[in-house]
Structure 1
Amino acid sequence: MTTTETPQDTGIGKELATGRFTDEMLAQMRELIGTELRTDACVNNEYATRLAVLRFAEGIGDDNPLWTDEAYAASGPFGEIIAPPSFIFACLGSVQVGWRGLGGFHAETDVTFHAPIKVGDKITARVWFDGFDGPTDSSFGGRRIKDYLRQEYWNQDGVLVARFICARMRFERGEMQKRRTSRTIELPHPWSDAELERIEEDILAETPRGAEPRYWDDVQVGDELDTLTKGPIGLTDEIAYVASGAAPIPRLSAHGVALRRYRKHPKWAFRDPSTHALEPVYSVHYNDYAARLQGAQIAYDVGIQRTCWQLHSLTHWIGDTGSVKAVHGQYRAHVYLSDVVRLGGKVVGKEIDADGDAVLHLETWAHNQREQNCMPGTATVALPRRAEGTV
């Protein structure tokens, strides 16, 4: 069997699958609405071990000692290390369902947080397909649909830790590829040495609020969050995120394990024409060739990776005694390798909510160097009060 025959014989080629929306596909997907999905191939961490939490925190660039330093955390509000709220994504990022041969982008995230994750907790994820909207026409990539997965994370005591609504755009790759040249920008971004030095100085100057409480009483509507900088995004940033246990859907694997999976599911993979190796569709996040097949310019970040940065920005600002109750984010434009993203936000409201918590409502953003808000969002955080019983 020759190399050129292999892709044809196995159903794996040098291109990503280029399926199209059909009435039959849409009917099949409607029949799946309400189905609970299998998660075995997508679970990365069941237990929040100290090293799993450390590896994840490092994978998103979050050095808050509340997640990583046992001595520091012992004197904190929980008396021990807890995981950053985004650790749920290191347990299970998401699951693929249906839409054979179509491309997909994570488009929007809604998460509510209900309990902290402590070291030793066992987290069980359950996922349901909640349906889809469309198809509708768009100038960005032709016809598309928006589908919804509901993901719930429960601990060993039967307590709901978090609920995550994952919305994805599905599109016909051929149409997305046709429009790729209309979105051409200069990549990698041509940073000067002086610009890079300023970026790194900003990053090194950032420190978490830490043990000093930020009181609800002291915050005013219009106050802005500290700026948190990520980048320039590099290949190792994406590798560190994957190695932390986050995102792969299904899990990334190698050699015979991967080959057997790809033979069973040929549309999960393509053959890289440069290395001749089989690569997963997920490699759009670190493989330029795959990213171009997806209709992008070069490799780009992971959607929920951006939400992890948003949560890092929030916990960085609220301090150890605050908590994140909810976040929302829309993924607008790719964050390409070489991009810099600056995250921030401002207070747009404050109240005592139905749970009796003193909360702030925030508008959040993530601006790249092209002055695009690549993740407009919102958040709700709870802070301690200086005097109980006062409003």
Structure 2
Amino acid sequence: MPETPVTDSRFPLITDEALDELRARIGQQFDRPQPHVTEATRDSIRHWALGIGDDNPLWLDDEYARKSRWGGITAPGSFLYAFDRVVSGYVSGLPGVHAMFAGTDWNWRLPIRLGDRIIAKPALKELRDLNSNFSGRSIKQTYNVTFYNQDGDVVCDADSWCIRTQRDVARDRATRETVEPRVWTEDEISEISSRYATYERRADESRYWDDVHEGDVLPELLKGPSTVTSFVCFTQGWGSLYVKAHGQAFDMFRKHPALGIPNALGVPEPPERVHWDNELARAVGVPAAYDYGPERISWLGNLMTDWIGDDGFLRRLNVQVRRHNIIGDLTICKGTVLRKWQEKEDHLVEVAVRCENQNGEQTAIGTAVAVLPSRG
């Protein structure tokens, strides 16, 4: 496939040679980067939960959690993002080609309990050649990651993928249209504050499978408006991909030169700064700094666990990130019940979930499956 011409080449393009080298790694497990979290402690669970704006006492309050069916503190399933950088969007190969996190298909088998020590085993699963309106030639790069607890039990199996995009092509195409970040009025902020104040989760009131019907609409869950502060809050719980400082940062740039993109002062910083640096975000074709994709998927997990209540279990969450959520955007998390059925003793509900911004544009879509208690 021919390379897409650009007016000003600052970054490498996707080549067949680089792709062939990366394809040779499919199916091979590898030494993954050091994870941010290795054990589900009270502190790490709290940092994660509050980083995604989920203050469910099931994750945070010992006494409350002891009275639940779980008998103690557990963690949101999305907490596993903090245990592995690969499932969070870390990719190898194609140096200098941008990686945009695009989705995860989570399949949980066990709850994450306080004290669990979890290790992930990732492997490159698939490379798919795409043609994108955003950046010309692009690649969907998918990893499979299996998570094990200290007893060797599989806690979760996940597929996670990024879209590798050509930064220069995306930048050139982005100049054709301008999107300005949303500026909110004092009255609008007051209304958002009121909606947060009146929101209620299901909590310890059981949601029975018997009472759920196809077409039921979940209560809306707000997140945002997004700010650099909210991105930093998420990063405190998640740990980021490439955020390092001082000698550790320069060690990383020596090992992976394409990660060091000079800032306006000539100092190398990682491509991850698109999440707080408007200039670099525009350089890769996005109108302003934008959120982390795993954050939005975690918000939809928050929507589901709030709706199913303490007695339910979120078994699957398969979400595609579709649009950038830039600084200033408000996200409304929504869900609609698609169907319900039984598998042996389990009573299951499938829900179509989505994130919409203040303009009604869908920024993430997917499905979730939950196990609910039944009166039967």
> What TM-score range do you get, normalising by the shorter chain?
over 0.9
Matched positions, count: 366
Residues 1:295 and 2:285 are matched in the alignment: yes
Query: Which amino acid in 1 is paired with 2:283?
Result: L
Q: Deviations over 1:66-87 (max 9, x none)?
A: 0001111111111110011111
- State whether structure 2 residue 240 is matched by structure 1 residue 240: no
2:220 maps to 227
Which ranges in structure 2 are unaligned for 5 or more consecutive residues? 1-7
Conservation of the 8 A alpha-carbon contact between 2:91 and 2:99: no
Q: Which one-letter code corresponds to 1:293 in the other structure?
A: A
Residues 10-89 of structure 1 mapped to structure 2, 5 A cutoff: 18-39=11-32, 41-89=33-81
- Residue 358 of structure 2 is aligned to residue 364 of structure 1: no
5+ residue gaps, structure 1: 1-14
- Which of 357, 365, 368 does residue 379 from structure 1 map onto? 368
Alignment pair present for 1:258 and 2:249: yes
**1:96 aligned partner:** 91
Query: 1:169-194, CA deviations, whole angstroms, 9 ceiling, x for partnerless residues?
Result: 1121111111112342121x021111
Distance 1:244 1:138 in 2: 32
Which residue of structure 2 aligns with residue 10 of structure 1?
none
The 5 Å alignment of 1:130-149 reads 130-134=125-129, 136-149=130-143
- Measure, in 2, the Cα distance between the counterparts of 1:72 and 1:17: 54
| Counterpart in the other structure of 1:105 | 100
1:103 maps to a residue whose letter is H
Q: Report the Cα distance in structure 1 between the residues aligned to 2:149 and 2:67, rounded to whole angstroms.
A: 24
Q: Distance in 2 between matches of 1:217 and 1:16?
A: 59
TM-score between both structures, scaled by the size of structure 2: 0.94
Aligned match of 2:208: 215
147, 153, 158: which one aligns with 2:147: 153
Aligned partners of 1:16 and 1:267 also within 8 Å: no
SS at match of 2:168: helix
TM-score normalised by the chain length of structure 1: 0.91
- Structure 1 residues 176 and 311, CA gap change in structure 2 (3 angstroms): same
- Number of the residue aligned with 1:346: 336
Q: Is the 8 A contact 1:262 1:269 kept in 2?
A: yes
CA offset at residue 16 of structure 1? 10
Name the residue aligned to 1:3. none
Mapped partners of 1:357, 1:60: distance in 2: 29
Secondary structure at the counterpart of residue 162 of structure 2: strand
Root mean square deviation, CA, Å: 1.5
* Partner Cα distance (1:22, 1:292) in 2: 23
Name the amino acid aligned to 2:154: L
Task: Measure the CA separation in 2 of the matches of 1:339 and 1:103.
Answer: 23
Asked if the contact 2:10–2:168 (Cα under 8 Å) also holds between the matched residues in 1, the reply is no
Q: Secondary structure at the match of 2:354?
A: strand
Which of 104, 117, 126 is matched with 2:121 structurally? 126
Residues 361, 381 of structure 1: 8 Å contact kept: yes
Residue 259 (structure 2) aligns with: 268
Match of 2:3 in 1: none
Letter in 2 for 1:182: R
Contact 1:16 1:270 in 2 (8 A): no
Contact 1:42 1:249 in 2 (8 A): no
